[in-house]
Amino acid sequence: MPYFNHWLLQVFNIKLLRPFLALLLTFSCGFNLNAQQISPKEQCHIQLLSDTSETKDLPKNIALFIQLATGENRLRLSCTLNEQAIFTFGKDEILNVTLNTGGANVEQVLANSPSYILPAGTFEIEFIFLTHHKFLQQFSWLSTATFFNSNLINNITMGAFYGLSLTLIFYVFFMGRVLGDNRFQFYSLYTFCAATFFLLQEGQLNIVLPKHSFLLSHQFYLLFAGLTVVTAVLFIVRLTDLKKEWPKVTRYFLEPGGVLVLLMSVMMLQLDHNALSAYLGQGMSKLTLALMLCIFILVAVQAYAKKRMANWVLFSLSLMVLAMLFRTFLQDYSPFLHRYALIFAFSIEAFILAVVVLTKVKNIKQDKLLAELQANTDELCNVLNRRGWEHKANQILIEQRAKGGVSALVYLDLNSFKQINDNLGHDVGDKVLMLIASEISEQLGTDEHLGRIGGDEFVIAAYFRSEEAAQYFRDKIVNNLKHFALKIDEKLTLDVTCSLGCKMFNEAPKSIRDMLILADESMYQVKQREKKNAATGLYSKT
């Protein structure tokens, strides 16, 4: 099996075979891990020549961190190996790598980060690193199985992250288009920029596009860092309504600050790697942290005031601020968190903000339904107003035209309601209308719609599949809604009568207006017949 692995490594640079060979090599090495015995003589040492530092042991499968200075750093790797292995290091702050193999057979492997196949035997290799600024660099050498397994797991994990990001991008973008709310589109743009930033950081493009140096460059990586910051600021400001509550802070600091971060990243695209670009890079990180802290404080104030969903946004921002603190100030304390804290924080933040966005969608729908309900409801009687009732009546006509059946319309008018207002006051008149609307509603089913279309005029629209059901409805209405005994308060009870006309339609009328005219005429005829009794039957006090 070791000879098979060696053969795979020799042909690994055949482009079309790379993905298959990497996977095959992973499994072949993995199956042989327990069988192979590592000689205790295997060892690697590393020395930073640029500052004449002492030689350090580089244990197998364990990362070693060395402080690199700004500019050129010369590093010597001395190894004695029984079999081929992989030497790898991070690439975030490294601008260029020059390799002096000293005659050793060293080949580069396509991977997320710079990685080299080390030959079996004893050898010395020198690397020359050109770095952007002073930082802590990670170095390690791994067995081939460990290296490929680690890369496979990392790529699968990051692939799941990119898939989640892509789903959120399209889902929220189209949701924003449907709702006409640009907050959702800002969220999509923010997620896209952040996912691209992490794609460049984690190095998956090194495998897919190894020869596109600009796309893999440090400047392009920083450009998407700037885009992520400005889109994050624009999105969160709109999501949390900071622009409405703190317009001056938003106008003069948050939004200009986000744009300034983006301009700094664009400037670094044009600059050679010098002291100015290093200062710009440090300024970007400090300003970004200041912006996020400012937003964090403002959202904390909203959460304290118990504004809807502010607690969730505050929690997600807390994670991002902590991740940025690690990235900006604590890189020497935990290189792992320095590299991956933002990915973990953004993954959790993306999920939380997705919940917030979905809740916003739900609230928007509820607010829209509430607004429609209020627009269609009579404020005094809590029944449909004319607009709302006509909408329901039109739906009945549409159903009747499609299915046949019978539609009905009842027109109800209180007798001498004006006298109630004149003699007892408008407060009593309003109470009469509310009580009568409540009494009528109790007599109706869910498919029978009551509306108030005038001062003391009510209408009922209904649809029935058969004439028998329509006739039953008519008899019930005529018998139960001609007279009302209304208890206004403890001392006053009113007997109120009404005139009602009821019309049945075996075929759907052309319009609601035609139905109202016919029902109104029917009600008027009833009122005329009852006119003789109106003087004594209007109402009485008890």
DSSP code per residue over 419-442: HHHHHH-HHHHHHHHHHHHHHHHH
Core vs surface per residue 26-49: b (16+ CB within 10 A) or e: bebbeeeeeeeeeeeebbbebbbe
Strand order in 64-68's β-sheet?
A: 64-68, 135-143, 85-89, 115-118, 107-109
What local confidence, expressed as pLDDT, does residue 329 receive?
66
What local confidence, expressed as pLDDT, does residue 540 receive?
42
What local confidence, expressed as pLDDT, does residue 331 receive?
58
Q: Which three-class secondary structure state does DSSP give residue 409?
A: strand
| Angle in degrees, CA 39, 43, 47, rounded to 5 | 180
Number of alpha carbons in the 13 Å side-chain half-sphere of residue 78: 8
Contacts of 46 (CB under 8 A, 6+ apart): 55, 56, 58, 64, 66, 75, 76, 77, 78, 139
Strand order in 56-57's β-sheet?
A: 56-57, 43-48, 71-81, 121-131, 94-100
Nearest to 379 by CA among 446, 459, 452: 452
What local confidence, expressed as pLDDT, does residue 353 receive?
78
pTM of the model: 0.60
Q: In whole angstroms, how far apart are CA 121 and each of 11, 80, 436?
A: 20, 5, 101
Nearest to 71 by CA among 331, 343, 273: 273
State the fold for domain 386-537. Answer: Alpha-Beta Plaits (3.30.70)
What local confidence, expressed as pLDDT, does residue 172 receive?
80
**Distance between CA atoms of residues 318 and 9, nearest Å:** 45
**Cβ pair 55, 47 in contact under 8 A:** yes
Q: What is the DSSP letter of 205?
A: H
Range(s) for CATH 3.30.70.270 in the chain? Answer: 386-537
What local confidence, expressed as pLDDT, does residue 1 receive?
43
**Cβ pair 173, 215 in contact under 8 A:** no
For the chain, residues with pLDDT lower than 50 are 1-38, 536-542
**Cβ pair 471, 494 in contact under 8 A:** no
Task: With residue 79 as reference, give the H or E element that holds it.
Answer: strand 71-81
